[in-house]
Amino acid sequence: MKNNILLTIIIPLIMISCRSGNKLETVPSVDLKRYAGVWYEIALYPVVFEKGCNCTTAEYIPTDKNYVKVINRCRKGGINGKESMIEGKAFIEKGSNNAKLKVQFFWPFKGKYWIIGLADDYSWAVVSHPNRKYLWILSRTPQLQDGVYEKIIQLIKEKGLDPEKLIKTTQIKA
């Protein structure tokens, strides 16, 4: 009897963990020279460290010191608000073909930065974390065309992420 009760509890748990345990796949490889430069944040899962941010950008600058310099900027409280900036470093995970990085803004903490979607022409990127709790849509321009945004939303769904959690970032029209 005890074994039957245990089986009725354990088997569903195993099935749920197998279903929800899909490994988040990154893009096959990233050319860091092409990835370098300024990216505009189009949408994200809300995070406390970006509360009140508008016109958010991320700039990636390759260095010869085994890391990529990261500069994140935003305007607090509105598009004309005071600029806030933070600088960090992104370290490439070995064997990831540059698709997995660990970003550090405060020593010794590093956050996983996985590139899970990338346009062939490097015009947009989708970044997440293996636990799927974080998500950013980035673009080389302050806005994306609707068709491109919808294509990205489809990719996000295919990766097992919830596009309903996304909030769009206010950007100045180009």
- Give dist(CA 87, CA 89) in Å, integer: 7
- Give dist(CA 130, CA 134) in Å, integer: 9
Residue 94 lies in a domain: yes
Q: Higher confidence at residue 18 or residue 43?
A: 43
Summarize pLDDT for 34-52 with one digit per residue, the tens.
999 999 999 999 887 788 8
Q: Say whether pLDDT at 66 is over 80.
A: yes
Residue 13 lies in a domain: no
Summarize pLDDT for 100-123 with one digit per residue, the tens.
999 999 888 888 999 999 999 999
What's the structural domain count of the chain?
1
Task: Enter the pTM of the model.
Answer: 0.84
**What would the mean pLDDT of 83-97 be, rounded to a whole number?**
94
- Give the domain CATH number at 136: 2.40.128.20
Residue 18 lies in a domain: no
Residue 19 lies in a domain: no
Residue 157 lies in a domain: yes
Residue 68 lies in a domain: yes
- Give dist(CA 116, CA 128) in Å, integer: 7
Residue 149 lies in a domain: yes
Q: Say whether pLDDT at 74 is over 70.
A: yes
Domain of residue 39 covers 24-168
Residue 7 lies in a domain: no
Q: What is the DSSP string of the chain?
A: -HHHHHHHHHHHHHHHHHHHTPPPP--S---HHHH-EEEEEEEE---GGGTTEEEEEEEEEE-SSSSEEEEEEEEETSTTSEEEEEEEEEEEPTTSTTSEEEEEEETTEEEEEEEEEE-TTSSEEEEE-TTS--EEEEESSSS--HHHHHHHHHHHHHTT--GGG-EEPP----
